[in-house]
Amino acid sequence: FEVFVENLVIMAWMCLFMFAWFDMSSLQFPEYRWLFVLVEFLMTFMVVYPLKFLWAQKRRAIADLADFTLSEVVCGNESFDRPFVYSAINGWYGSLEAFTDFVRGPLRQDLLNEFSTIHLPFAYYFLMASPNFGRYLDYSLAMWRCSA
């Protein structure tokens, strides 16, 4: 789950960084401001679509756990992996059916509960705010240096 959240954060950070860069660049070419706004608008779709895809993919994977069947799981080396994994499952859960019930029930429910709300570490908020913070810090320091 953490990798999923970090993907969301890094995509949001990249988008905000590009927005800040385009906004600063548009100041140099005010006659083309409409073009910069258009590119920012298109970038929004280019970021939102992958985020939506990641979200749907994660939801689908969790929903599929309701119909989990251990016999349909594919192993890399069927002759070694399947007996090894089955013996480990029997040792940990007592039976293959108990493991299947665990995946369909408590594991799926825990993942649904965790996925229903996303809690970001506080540092991630600073990371996502850094492109805009840096841009406005630049403005503020320039005005302060000029005694404006």
Q: How far apart are CA 6 and CA 48, in angstroms?
A: 15
pLDDT of residue 92: 94
The per-residue DSSP string of 35-55 comes to: HHHHHHHHHHHHHHHHHHHHH
Please tell me the distance from the alpha carbon of residue 137 to that of residue 131, in angstroms, as a whole number.
10
pLDDT at 63: 84
Looking at residue 78, what is its pLDDT? 81
Question: Are 107 and 65 in contact, with CB atoms under 8 Å apart?
Answer: yes
In order, the DSSP letters of 50-67 are HHHHHHHHHHHHHHHGGG
Look at the pTM and tell me if it is higher than 0.75: no
Q: Which residues of the chain have pLDDT under 50?
A: none
Angle 39-24-132 from CA coordinates, rounded to 5°:
95
The residue assigned the tokens 């404006």 is: 148
Containing 2, the helix (H) or strand (E) segment is: helix 2-28
User: What's the pLDDT at 1?
Assistant: 56
Q: How far is CA 43 from the centre of its chain?
A: 17
pLDDT at residue 2, as a whole number: 67
